[in-house]
Structure 1
């Protein structure tokens, strides 16, 4: 599994962070700031209820992004995973990444059947730091 995740992280160029928040106490904010600092990824924040986070624009959904994201990093409650999966498939994303605490075998099955790589219950920040950081 580590080899697969490391490959995904190396091949990723664009990341959409779904469920972005301007609240600095939320894990999504920390992950975004880490990725800004420690990766070369182009990052896009997605949240239909806010227009920006610290001056960075947010987008209402994946189809509003100016690019097709390679990886969709999901910080949404369980009941919204199906909608995010459908959006990720619709826009042609390559990977659906469900953050720590998110696990749904039906979403994984349907995502993989649609051609997506699916990672569940893992923190993108933690895995990036663990597998790609240079010591």
Structure 2
């Protein structure tokens, strides 16, 4: 089952350093744009992933086509895709050895969550780290 207890979500966020954001946008009006800036401001390294803007930069970070391209350890894959498309991002997260997948508000894919958990990944679903971090009083990354 996805993480639901506050202390489990807090621990996940406290132990994370690198977040890959699937569906990151270069448009300031998109929620992912603001969430990425918030997470960077809290000290996380956020790596944007979006095949439509591969090679561009968002908030100073190079945008990758997919998780396979990143080539470095990922603590959390933050998924800004619709529920149906989240499965592909989860499968990539499993393949690259991410520690957790985080499906954004409104993103619910139980089959993908079950695959991730079966592979040993932690799962958060239908939540936003930019809301959870202040609510849970998660300290900035050192």
- How many residue pairs were aligned? 133
1:25-36 alignment to 2 at 5 Å? 25-36=29-40
Q: Structure 1: give runs of 5+ residues left out of the alignment.
A: none
Match of 2:94 in 1: 89
CA distance in 2, matches of 1:5, 1:92: 19
Match of 1:122 in 2: 127
Q: Compute the TM-score of the two structures, normalised by the length of structure 2.
A: 0.88
Tell me the C-alpha RMSD between the 2 structures: 1.4
CA distance in 2, matches of 1:105, 1:111: 10
Match of 2:13 in 1: 9
Q: Structure 2: give runs of 5+ residues left out of the alignment.
A: none
TM-superposed CA distance for 1:52, in Å, is: 2.1
2:107 matched to 1:102? yes
TM-superposed CA distance for 1:54, in Å, is: 4.7
Point out which structure has higher relative CO (alpha carbons under 8 A, 6+ apart): 2
Match of 2:44 in 1: 41
Deviates more, 1:69-78 or 1:102-111: 102-111
SS at match of 1:59: coil
SS at match of 1:28: helix
1:68-79 alignment to 2 at 5 Å? 68-79=73-84
CA distance in 2, matches of 1:126, 1:117: 19
TM-superposed CA distance for 1:133, in Å, is: 4.7
1:60-75 alignment to 2 at 5 Å? 60-75=65-80
Deviates more, 1:45-54 or 1:19-28: 45-54
